[in-house]
Amino acid sequence: MVGGATTKELIVNGKRLDGRALDELRPIKIEASVLNKADGSAYVEWGKNKVIAGVFGPRECFPRRDVNPYRATLRCRYRMSPFATSDHGRSGPNRRSTELSKVIREAFEGVVLREQFPKTAIDVTVEVLQADGGTRCASLVAVSTALADAGIPMKDLVSAVAVGKINGKLALDLTGVEDNFGDSDIPVAITGRNKEIVLFQMDGVLLPEQISQALKMASAANEHIHALQVDALKLVYESKQAQGGARTGAASEED
C-alpha cells in the first residue's frame, strides 16, 4: 500500500526480486471444470496465488428482494481464507472483501447476458486459498473462466492484471512484497475482443501519462491471459466431447 515511510530495493540490475523483467507476468496456470457440484468452476494458480471460483445458476432467486424482473441478478462473493497470508486472517467478510466483491461483480454485470434469464440469480463465489499480491485479478480471471465453463452466455471473456509502480518504475503484475513496498497499484480488467475496461482501480500518486502507460501494459498482458483462459476452456470442452458430452469433467471421472 501507499504512504509508507518504508522503502526497499525491489529492482536490482534491471530485474525484480523474483528475476522477472518489468513487463513480465508470473507463471499462470488456469484449469476449468474443477468442481463437481458447481455449474461452472475454475482454478487459477498465478505465481504463489491460488484461487478457486464456482458458479451456480441461473437458478431461482432468493430472497425476493434480490429479484430483478428484467434480468438475472448477479451475486458475487470474494473471500480470502484465514490461512492465505502469513498472519492468520479472520474468516468472514471484511470491508476489503466487501468492496472487492462489489467491483468484481460490476465487472461482469455488463458482460453476462443477464437479460436472457430474468428473475433468476447467478451466484459466483471466489475463494482465495493462498495470496501473494494481485488476488482480485486472479479472482476475476477465475470467475470469467468459471462463468464460461457454466455455459452462461457472455459478450466476452474478461481478463485482468495489475500494474504497479515500484522504485519509481511501472511494473506488471506485482507480488505481495512489491505491493507492500511499492508506490502504486492499478488493477485493470479488460474484455478480450472489445478492449472495454470493466474494472479499474488505482492508488498512489501518478501522472496521467503514467496511468495511460499502465493501462496499455495491462491491455497487452491481458491478451496473453485471455489466450490461457480460452485454452483452459477448450481443453475441457474437447475432453467432454470425447467422453460424449458428460456435464463436468470431475463427474465423468467418477462415473
Partner 1 sequence: MTINILDEIKRDYVRDLAMHGGRTDGRAMDAFRPISVEPGVITSAEGSARVKLGKSQVIAGIKLGVGSPFPDRPKEGVLSTNAEFLPLASPSFESGPPSELSIELARVVDRGIRSANAVDIASLLIDEDTEGKSKVWAVYIDLYVLDHDGNLQDAAGLAAMSAILNVQMPKYEDGKLTLEEKTGPLPSQATAVSCTFGKIGNAILVDPSYEEEVSLDARITMATIPGHICACQKTGMGSFKLEEIDSCMQIALKKGDELRALLKQ
Within a 10 A sphere around the Cβ of 178, how many other Cβ atoms? 26
Minimum distance from CB of 138 to partner 1 (Å)? 19
Interface residue with partner 1, options 52, 103, 147, 163 (CB under 8 A): 103
Please report whether residue 113 would count as binding partner 1 according to CB under 8 A.
no
- C-alpha–C-alpha distance, residues 24 and 30, integer Å: 18
Give the residue among 204, 48, 253 at the shortest CA–CA distance from 134: 48
Minimum distance from CB of 212 to partner 1 (Å)? 6
3-state secondary structure 131-157: CCCCHHHHHHHHHHHHHHHCCCCECCC
Minimum distance from CB of 167 to partner 1 (Å)? 17
Interface residue with partner 1, options 48, 130, 200, 252 (CB under 8 A): 200
Please report whether residue 14 would count as binding partner 1 according to CB under 8 A.
no
Interface residue with partner 1, options 206, 230, 235, 246 (CB under 8 A): 206
- C-alpha–C-alpha distance, residues 136 and 97, integer Å: 10
Please report whether residue 44 would count as binding partner 1 according to CB under 8 A.
no
Please report whether residue 221 would count as binding partner 1 according to CB under 8 A.
no
Tell me the chain's radius of gyration from C-alpha atoms: 19
- C-alpha–C-alpha distance, residues 85 and 12, integer Å: 26
Residue 63 preceded by cis peptide, ω within 30: yes
Interface residue with partner 1, options 216, 224, 234, 247 (CB under 8 A): 216
Minimum distance from CB of 252 to partner 1 (Å)? 35
- C-alpha–C-alpha distance, residues 166 and 177, integer Å: 10
φ/ψ of residue 214, rounded to 5: -60, -40
| 13, 45, 86, 160, 203 from 212: Cα distances, Å | 26, 28, 34, 16, 14
Query: Which residue number, 65 or 88, has a Cβ lying nearer to partner 1?
Result: 65
Interface residue with partner 1, options 202, 235, 246, 250 (CB under 8 A): 202
Query: Which residue number, 21 or 197, has a Cβ lying nearer to partner 1?
Result: 197
- Which residues 57-96 are close enough to bind partner 1 by CB under 8 A? 65-69, 73, 95-96
Record the cell numbers describing residue 161, joined without a space. Answer: 492484471
Please report whether residue 223 would count as binding partner 1 according to CB under 8 A.
no
The separation between CA 54 and the C-alpha centre of its own chain, rounded to angstroms, equals 12
- Which residues 121-180 are close enough to bind partner 1 by CB under 8 A? none
Segment interacting with partner 1 (CB under 8 A) among 1-9, 48-56, 164-172, 232-240: 1-9
Contact indicator for 106, 76 with CB cutoff of 8 Å:
no
Query: Which residue number, 84 or 103, has a Cβ lying nearer to partner 1?
Result: 103
Minimum distance from CB of 207 to partner 1 (Å)? 6
| Chain residues that interact with partner 1, rule: CB under 8 A | 1-6, 65-69, 73, 95-96, 98-99, 101-103, 106, 109-110, 184, 186, 191, 195-208, 211-212, 215-216, 219
